[in-house]
Structure 1
Amino acid sequence: MDFLRWLFEAQIPVAGSSLLLREVLGNIFGLLSALGGMRRKVWAWPVGIIGNLLLLTVFLGSLFGSASTANLLGQAGRQIMFIAVAVYGWNRWRAARNGTGSAITPQWAGAKARVGLVAALLLGTVALTPVFAALGSYEPVWADAWTFVGSLLATYGMARGWVEFWLIWVAVDIVGVPLLFSAGYYASAFMYLFYGGFTLVGFFVWWRANALAKPEVQTLHPDPRIGQPAQAGGGDEPVRVP
Protein backbone atom coordinates (compact mmCIF):
# COMPACT_ATOMS: atom_id res chain seq x y z
CA MET A 1 0.00 0.00 0.00
CA ASP A 2 2.84 2.39 0.80
CA PHE A 3 4.33 1.72 -2.63
CA LEU A 4 1.01 2.40 -4.38
CA ARG A 5 0.50 5.59 -2.40
CA TRP A 6 3.99 6.72 -3.35
CA LEU A 7 3.41 5.80 -7.00
CA PHE A 8 0.16 7.77 -7.21
CA GLU A 9 1.49 10.81 -5.37
CA ALA A 10 5.10 11.05 -6.57
CA GLN A 11 5.99 14.00 -8.79
CA ILE A 12 9.10 15.11 -10.62
CA PRO A 13 9.94 18.82 -10.34
CA VAL A 14 10.65 20.43 -13.70
CA ALA A 15 11.37 24.15 -14.25
CA GLY A 16 9.22 25.36 -11.37
CA SER A 17 6.42 22.92 -12.17
CA SER A 18 6.07 19.17 -11.74
CA LEU A 19 5.24 16.03 -13.70
CA LEU A 20 3.47 12.97 -12.41
CA LEU A 21 5.85 10.05 -12.05
CA ARG A 22 3.10 7.77 -13.35
CA GLU A 23 2.88 9.77 -16.56
CA VAL A 24 6.64 9.64 -17.12
CA LEU A 25 6.87 5.92 -16.36
CA GLY A 26 3.85 5.12 -18.52
CA ASN A 27 5.42 6.88 -21.50
CA ILE A 28 8.78 5.18 -20.92
CA PHE A 29 7.08 1.78 -21.05
CA GLY A 30 5.24 2.96 -24.16
CA LEU A 31 8.52 3.90 -25.81
CA LEU A 32 10.07 0.54 -24.94
CA SER A 33 7.02 -1.16 -26.43
CA ALA A 34 7.39 0.89 -29.62
CA LEU A 35 11.07 -0.09 -29.86
CA GLY A 36 10.13 -3.74 -29.44
CA GLY A 37 7.41 -3.36 -32.05
CA MET A 38 9.85 -1.88 -34.55
CA ARG A 39 12.11 -4.91 -33.99
CA ARG A 40 9.05 -7.21 -34.15
CA LYS A 41 9.63 -8.71 -30.70
CA VAL A 42 6.80 -10.42 -28.81
CA TRP A 43 7.78 -8.77 -25.51
CA ALA A 44 6.64 -5.42 -26.92
CA TRP A 45 3.03 -6.29 -26.08
CA PRO A 46 3.27 -7.04 -22.31
CA VAL A 47 5.62 -4.09 -21.82
CA GLY A 48 3.07 -1.87 -23.52
CA ILE A 49 0.29 -3.14 -21.27
CA ILE A 50 2.18 -1.95 -18.19
CA GLY A 51 2.46 1.51 -19.70
CA ASN A 52 -1.23 1.50 -20.61
CA LEU A 53 -2.27 0.75 -17.04
CA LEU A 54 -0.14 3.60 -15.70
CA LEU A 55 -1.42 6.10 -18.27
CA LEU A 56 -5.03 5.06 -17.66
CA THR A 57 -4.73 6.43 -14.12
CA VAL A 58 -3.12 9.62 -15.48
CA PHE A 59 -5.79 10.56 -18.02
CA LEU A 60 -8.62 9.91 -15.58
CA GLY A 61 -7.12 12.74 -13.60
CA SER A 62 -10.15 13.64 -11.49
CA LEU A 63 -10.48 10.05 -10.28
CA PHE A 64 -6.84 9.35 -9.46
CA GLY A 65 -5.58 12.86 -8.74
CA SER A 66 -6.88 16.37 -8.23
CA ALA A 67 -10.57 16.98 -8.88
CA SER A 68 -9.60 19.95 -11.09
CA THR A 69 -7.42 17.85 -13.40
CA ALA A 70 -8.71 17.56 -16.97
CA ASN A 71 -10.18 14.23 -18.01
CA LEU A 72 -9.22 13.04 -21.48
CA LEU A 73 -11.75 10.27 -21.98
CA GLY A 74 -10.42 9.40 -25.42
CA GLN A 75 -6.89 9.09 -24.08
CA ALA A 76 -8.12 7.07 -21.09
CA GLY A 77 -10.39 4.89 -23.18
CA ARG A 78 -7.68 4.07 -25.63
CA GLN A 79 -5.52 2.70 -22.82
CA ILE A 80 -8.27 0.13 -22.14
CA MET A 81 -8.51 -0.51 -25.87
CA PHE A 82 -4.72 -0.90 -26.07
CA ILE A 83 -4.80 -3.60 -23.41
CA ALA A 84 -7.57 -5.51 -25.20
CA VAL A 85 -5.88 -5.34 -28.61
CA ALA A 86 -2.48 -6.08 -27.05
CA VAL A 87 -3.78 -9.45 -25.85
CA TYR A 88 -4.84 -10.20 -29.44
CA GLY A 89 -1.52 -8.99 -30.86
CA TRP A 90 0.48 -10.84 -28.23
CA ASN A 91 -1.18 -14.15 -29.10
CA ARG A 92 -0.96 -13.52 -32.84
CA TRP A 93 2.76 -12.65 -32.76
CA ARG A 94 3.57 -15.62 -30.51
CA ALA A 95 1.86 -17.95 -32.98
CA ALA A 96 3.68 -16.37 -35.94
CA ARG A 97 7.11 -16.30 -34.34
CA ASN A 98 9.78 -17.87 -36.53
CA GLY A 99 13.35 -19.06 -36.20
CA THR A 100 14.81 -15.63 -37.03
CA GLY A 101 13.68 -14.20 -33.71
CA SER A 102 11.14 -11.88 -35.35
CA ALA A 103 7.53 -12.37 -34.40
CA ILE A 104 6.00 -11.48 -37.74
CA THR A 105 6.92 -10.58 -41.31
CA PRO A 106 5.69 -7.07 -42.27
CA GLN A 107 3.29 -6.90 -45.19
CA TRP A 108 1.36 -4.18 -46.99
CA ALA A 109 -2.32 -3.99 -46.07
CA GLY A 110 -3.46 -3.59 -49.66
CA ALA A 111 -5.71 -1.00 -51.34
CA LYS A 112 -8.99 -2.33 -49.95
CA ALA A 113 -7.72 -2.41 -46.37
CA ARG A 114 -6.25 1.09 -46.71
CA VAL A 115 -9.58 2.51 -47.81
CA GLY A 116 -11.22 0.74 -44.90
CA LEU A 117 -8.71 2.18 -42.43
CA VAL A 118 -9.18 5.76 -43.66
CA ALA A 119 -12.97 5.40 -43.66
CA ALA A 120 -12.95 3.90 -40.17
CA LEU A 121 -10.77 6.77 -38.87
CA LEU A 122 -13.05 9.47 -40.27
CA LEU A 123 -16.39 7.84 -39.51
CA GLY A 124 -15.26 6.69 -36.06
CA THR A 125 -14.18 10.23 -35.16
CA VAL A 126 -17.52 11.67 -36.28
CA ALA A 127 -19.46 9.01 -34.36
CA LEU A 128 -17.51 9.25 -31.10
CA THR A 129 -17.19 13.04 -30.88
CA PRO A 130 -20.74 13.62 -29.52
CA VAL A 131 -20.33 10.63 -27.19
CA PHE A 132 -17.14 12.00 -25.67
CA ALA A 133 -18.70 15.47 -25.49
CA ALA A 134 -21.66 14.11 -23.52
CA LEU A 135 -19.25 12.38 -21.15
CA GLY A 136 -17.39 15.63 -20.50
CA SER A 137 -14.16 15.11 -22.41
CA TYR A 138 -11.68 17.96 -22.87
CA GLU A 139 -12.11 20.37 -25.79
CA PRO A 140 -11.69 20.08 -28.70
CA VAL A 141 -13.53 16.81 -28.29
CA TRP A 142 -13.10 15.75 -31.92
CA ALA A 143 -9.32 15.65 -31.37
CA ASP A 144 -9.79 13.30 -28.43
CA ALA A 145 -12.04 11.07 -30.55
CA TRP A 146 -9.52 11.17 -33.43
CA THR A 147 -6.66 9.98 -31.22
CA PHE A 148 -8.83 7.22 -29.77
CA VAL A 149 -9.97 5.81 -33.12
CA GLY A 150 -6.56 6.25 -34.73
CA SER A 151 -4.85 4.47 -31.86
CA LEU A 152 -7.29 1.56 -32.14
CA LEU A 153 -6.63 1.20 -35.87
CA ALA A 154 -2.85 1.57 -35.49
CA THR A 155 -2.66 -1.07 -32.77
CA TYR A 156 -4.81 -3.45 -34.81
CA GLY A 157 -2.60 -2.83 -37.85
CA MET A 158 0.49 -3.61 -35.79
CA ALA A 159 -1.07 -6.88 -34.62
CA ARG A 160 -1.79 -7.80 -38.25
CA GLY A 161 1.74 -6.87 -39.31
CA TRP A 162 0.67 -4.11 -41.72
CA VAL A 163 3.43 -1.64 -42.64
CA GLU A 164 0.87 1.19 -42.88
CA PHE A 165 0.14 1.14 -39.15
CA TRP A 166 3.14 3.43 -38.58
CA LEU A 167 1.55 6.11 -40.78
CA ILE A 168 -1.66 5.94 -38.74
CA TRP A 169 0.43 6.74 -35.66
CA VAL A 170 1.78 9.80 -37.46
CA ALA A 171 -1.80 11.00 -38.06
CA VAL A 172 -2.58 10.39 -34.38
CA ASP A 173 0.46 12.35 -33.21
CA ILE A 174 -0.29 15.34 -35.44
CA VAL A 175 -3.58 15.84 -33.60
CA GLY A 176 -2.66 14.37 -30.23
CA VAL A 177 0.42 16.50 -29.45
CA PRO A 178 -1.39 19.89 -29.48
CA LEU A 179 -4.27 18.36 -27.52
CA LEU A 180 -1.99 17.06 -24.77
CA PHE A 181 -0.12 20.37 -24.52
CA SER A 182 -3.37 22.31 -24.19
CA ALA A 183 -4.65 19.92 -21.50
CA GLY A 184 -1.45 20.25 -19.46
CA TYR A 185 -0.12 16.71 -19.95
CA TYR A 186 3.35 17.91 -20.88
CA ALA A 187 5.27 14.65 -20.39
CA SER A 188 2.90 12.80 -22.72
CA ALA A 189 2.94 15.68 -25.21
CA PHE A 190 6.73 15.69 -25.45
CA MET A 191 6.77 11.90 -25.68
CA TYR A 192 4.20 11.94 -28.49
CA LEU A 193 6.25 14.62 -30.24
CA PHE A 194 9.20 12.24 -30.12
CA TYR A 195 6.95 9.39 -31.28
CA GLY A 196 6.15 11.40 -34.41
CA GLY A 197 9.74 11.11 -35.63
CA PHE A 198 10.13 7.60 -34.27
CA THR A 199 7.08 6.31 -36.17
CA LEU A 200 8.54 7.54 -39.45
CA VAL A 201 11.72 5.60 -38.71
CA GLY A 202 9.64 2.54 -37.84
CA PHE A 203 7.74 2.85 -41.11
CA PHE A 204 10.92 2.69 -43.19
CA VAL A 205 12.33 -0.15 -41.05
CA TRP A 206 9.22 -2.25 -41.67
CA TRP A 207 9.15 -1.23 -45.34
CA ARG A 208 12.72 -2.51 -45.72
CA ALA A 209 11.92 -5.70 -43.80
CA ASN A 210 9.03 -6.33 -46.17
CA ALA A 211 11.24 -5.74 -49.21
CA LEU A 212 13.92 -8.11 -47.91
CA ALA A 213 11.47 -10.88 -47.02
CA LYS A 214 11.96 -13.74 -49.47
CA PRO A 215 9.00 -15.92 -50.44
CA GLU A 216 9.30 -19.62 -49.89
CA VAL A 217 10.18 -21.44 -53.11
CA GLN A 218 9.58 -25.13 -53.71
CA THR A 219 12.96 -26.67 -54.48
CA LEU A 220 11.90 -30.28 -55.04
CA HIS A 221 10.13 -31.17 -58.27
CA PRO A 222 6.95 -33.17 -57.63
CA ASP A 223 7.90 -35.71 -60.32
CA PRO A 224 10.30 -38.22 -58.70
CA ARG A 225 11.54 -39.28 -62.14
CA ILE A 226 13.26 -35.93 -62.70
CA GLY A 227 17.01 -36.43 -62.65
CA GLN A 228 16.72 -40.06 -63.77
CA PRO A 229 17.91 -41.20 -67.25
CA ALA A 230 15.24 -40.54 -69.87
CA GLN A 231 13.61 -43.65 -71.30
CA ALA A 232 12.96 -44.06 -75.06
CA GLY A 233 9.58 -45.49 -75.98
CA GLY A 234 9.27 -47.29 -72.68
CA GLY A 235 12.35 -49.44 -73.43
CA ASP A 236 14.91 -50.59 -70.95
CA GLU A 237 17.93 -48.80 -72.46
CA PRO A 238 18.54 -45.15 -71.64
CA VAL A 239 18.72 -42.69 -74.48
CA ARG A 240 22.24 -41.42 -74.77
CA VAL A 241 22.62 -37.79 -75.71
CA PRO A 242 26.00 -36.77 -77.08
Structure 2
Amino acid sequence: MNPFLTLLDAKLHIAGSEILWREIIGNGFGLASAVGGMRRRVWAWPIGIAGNALLFTVFVGGVFNTPQHLNMAGQAGRQLMFIAVSVYGWWQWQRHANETGLEHRGVEPRWASARERWLLVAAMLAGTAGFAQLFDLIGSYGPWAEAWIFTGSILATYGMARGLAEFWLIWIAVDIVGIPLLLKAGYYPSATLYLVYAGFVLWGFVVWVRNLRATESAAHSPVAVAAEH
Protein backbone atom coordinates (compact mmCIF):
# COMPACT_ATOMS: atom_id res chain seq x y z
CA MET A 1 0.00 0.00 0.00
CA ASN A 2 1.22 3.48 -0.87
CA PRO A 3 2.11 5.22 2.45
CA PHE A 4 1.28 8.62 0.95
CA LEU A 5 -2.24 7.51 0.03
CA THR A 6 -2.61 5.85 3.43
CA LEU A 7 -1.85 9.19 5.13
CA LEU A 8 -4.28 11.04 2.88
CA ASP A 9 -7.13 8.61 3.59
CA ALA A 10 -6.56 7.89 7.31
CA LYS A 11 -9.56 8.97 9.39
CA LEU A 12 -10.52 9.22 13.03
CA HIS A 13 -14.14 8.44 13.94
CA ILE A 14 -15.59 10.55 16.76
CA ALA A 15 -19.31 10.66 17.66
CA GLY A 16 -20.30 9.45 14.23
CA SER A 17 -18.15 11.99 12.40
CA GLU A 18 -15.09 11.33 10.26
CA ILE A 19 -12.04 13.50 10.84
CA LEU A 20 -8.92 13.22 8.73
CA TRP A 21 -5.70 12.53 10.60
CA ARG A 22 -3.88 14.90 8.24
CA GLU A 23 -6.17 17.72 9.40
CA ILE A 24 -5.28 16.94 13.01
CA ILE A 25 -1.54 16.57 12.28
CA GLY A 26 -1.44 19.68 10.07
CA ASN A 27 -3.10 21.75 12.76
CA GLY A 28 -0.73 20.30 15.35
CA PHE A 29 2.18 21.59 13.29
CA GLY A 30 0.41 24.95 13.08
CA LEU A 31 0.10 25.11 16.86
CA ALA A 32 3.78 24.20 17.30
CA SER A 33 4.68 26.95 14.82
CA ALA A 34 2.64 29.47 16.84
CA VAL A 35 4.53 28.53 20.01
CA GLY A 36 7.83 28.89 18.16
CA GLY A 37 6.77 32.27 16.83
CA MET A 38 5.92 33.45 20.31
CA ARG A 39 9.40 32.41 21.48
CA ARG A 40 10.95 33.96 18.33
CA ARG A 41 12.55 30.68 17.26
CA VAL A 42 13.64 30.20 13.65
CA TRP A 43 12.30 26.62 13.57
CA ALA A 44 8.75 27.99 13.75
CA TRP A 45 8.83 28.65 10.00
CA PRO A 46 9.74 25.17 8.61
CA ILE A 47 7.37 23.50 11.08
CA GLY A 48 4.60 25.80 9.89
CA ILE A 49 5.36 25.05 6.23
CA ALA A 50 4.96 21.30 6.85
CA GLY A 51 1.56 21.89 8.45
CA ASN A 52 0.47 24.16 5.60
CA ALA A 53 1.27 21.49 3.01
CA LEU A 54 -0.92 18.96 4.84
CA LEU A 55 -3.78 21.39 5.36
CA PHE A 56 -3.79 22.37 1.69
CA THR A 57 -4.91 18.82 0.85
CA VAL A 58 -7.63 19.06 3.51
CA PHE A 59 -9.24 22.22 2.18
CA VAL A 60 -9.35 21.06 -1.43
CA GLY A 61 -11.90 18.45 -0.43
CA GLY A 62 -13.36 17.99 -3.88
CA VAL A 63 -9.94 16.91 -5.17
CA PHE A 64 -8.58 14.91 -2.23
CA ASN A 65 -11.90 13.36 -1.20
CA THR A 66 -12.33 14.74 2.32
CA PRO A 67 -15.42 13.91 4.42
CA GLN A 68 -16.75 17.45 3.87
CA HIS A 69 -16.37 17.30 0.05
CA LEU A 70 -15.96 21.09 0.04
CA ASN A 71 -13.50 23.20 -1.91
CA MET A 72 -12.63 26.12 0.36
CA ALA A 73 -10.56 28.17 -2.05
CA GLY A 74 -9.70 30.81 0.53
CA GLN A 75 -8.47 28.30 3.10
CA ALA A 76 -6.57 26.25 0.50
CA GLY A 77 -5.02 29.34 -1.08
CA ARG A 78 -4.17 30.53 2.40
CA GLN A 79 -1.96 27.49 2.91
CA LEU A 80 -0.07 28.20 -0.33
CA MET A 81 0.29 31.83 0.72
CA PHE A 82 1.62 30.71 4.12
CA ILE A 83 4.26 28.58 2.42
CA ALA A 84 5.39 31.44 0.18
CA VAL A 85 5.51 34.08 2.93
CA SER A 86 7.01 31.62 5.41
CA VAL A 87 9.99 31.07 3.11
CA TYR A 88 10.58 34.84 3.31
CA GLY A 89 10.06 34.84 7.09
CA TRP A 90 12.41 31.89 7.53
CA TRP A 91 15.11 33.67 5.54
CA GLN A 92 14.54 36.96 7.40
CA TRP A 93 14.72 35.40 10.86
CA GLN A 94 17.69 33.19 10.00
CA ARG A 95 19.59 36.20 8.67
CA HIS A 96 18.88 38.11 11.89
CA ALA A 97 20.02 35.16 13.99
CA ASN A 98 23.25 34.91 12.00
CA GLU A 99 23.94 38.65 12.21
CA THR A 100 23.31 38.94 15.95
CA GLY A 101 24.93 35.66 16.92
CA LEU A 102 21.83 34.77 18.94
CA GLU A 103 21.27 31.16 17.94
CA HIS A 104 17.68 30.46 16.87
CA ARG A 105 16.52 33.95 17.95
CA GLY A 106 14.91 35.22 14.77
CA VAL A 107 13.76 38.80 15.35
CA GLU A 108 13.61 41.76 17.74
CA PRO A 109 9.99 42.88 18.24
CA ARG A 110 8.97 46.45 17.52
CA TRP A 111 5.78 48.49 17.24
CA ALA A 112 4.64 49.43 13.76
CA SER A 113 4.89 53.09 12.85
CA ALA A 114 1.71 55.15 12.36
CA ARG A 115 2.18 54.90 8.59
CA GLU A 116 2.60 51.13 8.75
CA ARG A 117 -0.56 50.78 10.82
CA TRP A 118 -2.63 52.78 8.32
CA LEU A 119 -1.21 50.71 5.49
CA LEU A 120 -2.15 47.51 7.32
CA VAL A 121 -5.73 48.71 7.82
CA ALA A 122 -6.05 49.82 4.20
CA ALA A 123 -4.58 46.55 2.93
CA MET A 124 -6.98 44.56 5.14
CA LEU A 125 -10.05 46.33 3.79
CA ALA A 126 -8.96 46.40 0.15
CA GLY A 127 -7.71 42.82 0.22
CA THR A 128 -10.92 41.51 1.77
CA ALA A 129 -13.07 43.26 -0.83
CA GLY A 130 -10.92 42.09 -3.73
CA PHE A 131 -10.46 38.47 -2.68
CA ALA A 132 -14.15 38.14 -1.81
CA GLN A 133 -15.03 38.82 -5.44
CA LEU A 134 -12.43 36.30 -6.62
CA PHE A 135 -13.52 33.59 -4.18
CA ASP A 136 -17.18 34.14 -5.04
CA LEU A 137 -16.35 33.84 -8.75
CA ILE A 138 -14.69 30.46 -8.32
CA GLY A 139 -17.45 29.14 -6.08
CA SER A 140 -15.73 29.22 -2.71
CA TYR A 141 -17.57 28.44 0.53
CA GLY A 142 -18.18 31.70 2.46
CA PRO A 143 -16.28 34.06 0.12
CA TRP A 144 -16.37 37.18 2.32
CA ALA A 145 -15.33 35.33 5.48
CA GLU A 146 -12.63 33.47 3.58
CA ALA A 147 -11.40 36.73 2.05
CA TRP A 148 -11.12 38.32 5.51
CA ILE A 149 -9.21 35.29 6.81
CA PHE A 150 -6.99 35.09 3.73
CA THR A 151 -6.07 38.79 3.75
CA GLY A 152 -5.51 38.86 7.50
CA SER A 153 -3.31 35.78 7.29
CA ILE A 154 -1.11 37.42 4.65
CA LEU A 155 -0.69 40.56 6.73
CA ALA A 156 -0.16 38.71 10.01
CA THR A 157 2.47 36.41 8.53
CA TYR A 158 4.27 39.34 6.92
CA GLY A 159 4.07 41.28 10.19
CA MET A 160 5.57 38.33 12.06
CA ALA A 161 8.42 38.14 9.54
CA ARG A 162 9.11 41.85 10.07
CA GLY A 163 8.83 41.62 13.86
CA LEU A 164 5.76 43.87 14.17
CA ALA A 165 4.01 43.23 17.50
CA GLU A 166 0.66 44.16 15.94
CA PHE A 167 0.64 40.94 13.93
CA TRP A 168 -0.78 39.18 16.99
CA LEU A 169 -3.80 41.51 16.92
CA ILE A 170 -4.40 40.72 13.25
CA TRP A 171 -4.48 37.03 14.13
CA ILE A 172 -7.18 37.72 16.71
CA ALA A 173 -9.28 39.38 14.00
CA VAL A 174 -8.74 36.31 11.80
CA ASP A 175 -9.75 33.89 14.57
CA ILE A 176 -12.96 35.77 15.34
CA VAL A 177 -14.19 35.07 11.80
CA GLY A 178 -12.43 31.74 11.26
CA ILE A 179 -13.89 29.81 14.20
CA PRO A 180 -17.59 30.11 13.25
CA LEU A 181 -16.82 29.61 9.54
CA LEU A 182 -14.95 26.34 10.10
CA LEU A 183 -17.55 25.04 12.56
CA LYS A 184 -20.28 25.70 10.02
CA ALA A 185 -18.30 23.92 7.29
CA GLY A 186 -17.60 20.89 9.50
CA TYR A 187 -13.84 21.31 9.87
CA TYR A 188 -13.88 20.67 13.60
CA PRO A 189 -10.15 20.08 14.26
CA SER A 190 -9.31 23.29 12.41
CA ALA A 191 -12.01 25.21 14.30
CA THR A 192 -10.67 23.80 17.57
CA LEU A 193 -7.16 24.86 16.61
CA TYR A 194 -8.42 28.37 15.87
CA LEU A 195 -9.92 28.47 19.37
CA VAL A 196 -6.76 27.16 21.04
CA TYR A 197 -4.64 29.33 18.78
CA ALA A 198 -6.60 32.40 19.91
CA GLY A 199 -5.39 31.72 23.45
CA PHE A 200 -1.79 31.42 22.26
CA VAL A 201 -2.19 34.61 20.24
CA LEU A 202 -3.23 36.56 23.33
CA TRP A 203 -0.40 35.00 25.30
CA GLY A 204 2.08 35.69 22.51
CA PHE A 205 1.01 39.33 22.33
CA VAL A 206 1.56 39.72 26.08
CA VAL A 207 5.00 38.07 25.83
CA TRP A 208 6.07 40.34 22.97
CA VAL A 209 4.75 43.48 24.74
CA ARG A 210 6.69 42.54 27.87
CA ASN A 211 9.81 42.09 25.77
CA LEU A 212 9.29 45.48 24.16
CA ARG A 213 8.84 47.17 27.52
CA ALA A 214 11.94 45.49 28.89
CA THR A 215 13.93 46.65 25.87
CA GLU A 216 12.59 50.20 26.21
CA SER A 217 13.37 50.26 29.93
CA ALA A 218 16.91 49.06 29.30
CA ALA A 219 17.39 51.73 26.62
CA HIS A 220 16.33 54.47 29.04
CA SER A 221 18.26 53.18 32.05
CA PRO A 222 20.86 55.51 33.60
CA VAL A 223 23.68 53.23 32.40
CA ALA A 224 22.43 53.26 28.81
CA VAL A 225 21.90 57.04 28.83
CA ALA A 226 25.40 57.61 30.26
CA ALA A 227 26.88 55.32 27.60
CA GLU A 228 25.25 57.39 24.86
CA HIS A 229 26.88 60.54 26.19
Structure 2 residue matching 1:13: 3-state secondary structure: strand
Secondary structure at 1:71 match in 2: coil
Q: Which residue pairs with 1:153 in the alignment?
A: 155
How far apart are the structure 1 equivalents of 2:204 and 2:67?
A: 38
Please report how far the alpha carbon of residue 99 of structure 1 lies from its aligned counterpart in structure 2 after TM superposition: 3.9
Larger displacement relative to structure 2 (171-180 or 204-213): 204-213
Instruction: Go from structure 1 to structure 2 and tell me whether the alpha carbon gap of 1:68 and 1:171 turns closer, same or farther (over 3 Å shift).
Output: closer
| Residues 216-227 of structure 1 aligned to structure 2 (within 5 Å) | 219=227
Cα offsets for 1:184-219 (capped at 9, x unmatched): 111100110111121011001011111112447794
Q: 1:129 aligns with which of 132, 149, 159?
A: 132
Unaligned runs of at least 5 residues, structure 2: none
User: Which position in structure 1 is the counterpart of 2:185?
Assistant: 183
For 2:175, the equivalent position in structure 1 comes to: 173
Kindly provide the amino acid, as one letter, of the partner of residue 195 in structure 1: Y
SS in structure 2 at match of 1:118: helix
Measured at CA, do residues 67 and 134 of structure 1 come closer, stay the same or move farther in structure 2, by a change above 3 Å?
farther
Considering Cα pairs closer than 8 Å and 6+ residues apart, tell me whether 1 or 2 has the greater RCO. Answer: 2
Against the structure 1 CA distance between its residues 114 and 66, is the aligned structure 2 distance closer, same or farther, given a 3 Å change threshold? same
Q: Deviations over 1:139-189 (max 9, x none)?
A: 2x1001000000000000000000000000000000011111111111100
TM-score (norm 2): 0.91
Are residue 62 (structure 1) and residue 62 (structure 2) matched? Answer: yes
Q: Which runs of no fewer than 5 residues in structure 1 stay unpaired?
A: 222-242
What's 1:114 paired with? 117
My pick for the range that moved more, 147-156 or 206-215, is 206-215
Identical aligned pairs, as a percentage? 55
Aligned to 1:198: 200
> 1:106 & 1:207 partners in 2: Cα distance?
8
Provide the rounded CA distance (Å) in 1 between the counterparts of 2:159 and 2:227.
33
Determine the C-alpha separation between the residues in 1 that align with 2:185 and 2:15. 18
- The secondary structure found in structure 2 opposite 1:95 is helix
Larger Rg: 1 or 2?
1
- Range that drifts further, 112-121 or 165-174: 112-121
Q: Which has the higher helix share?
A: 2
CA distance in 2, matches of 1:109, 1:68: 40
TM-score normalised by structure 1 residue count: 0.86
What is the total number of aligned residue pairs between the two structures? 220
Cα RMSD over matched residues? Answer: 1.8
Secondary structure at the aligned position of 1:106 is classed as coil
For each residue in 1:105-133, what CA deviation from the matched residue of structure 2 results, as whole angstroms up to 9, or x when unmatched? Answer: 10001211111111111111011111101
The change in CA–CA distance for 1:218 and 1:6 in structure 2 (over 3 A counts) is farther
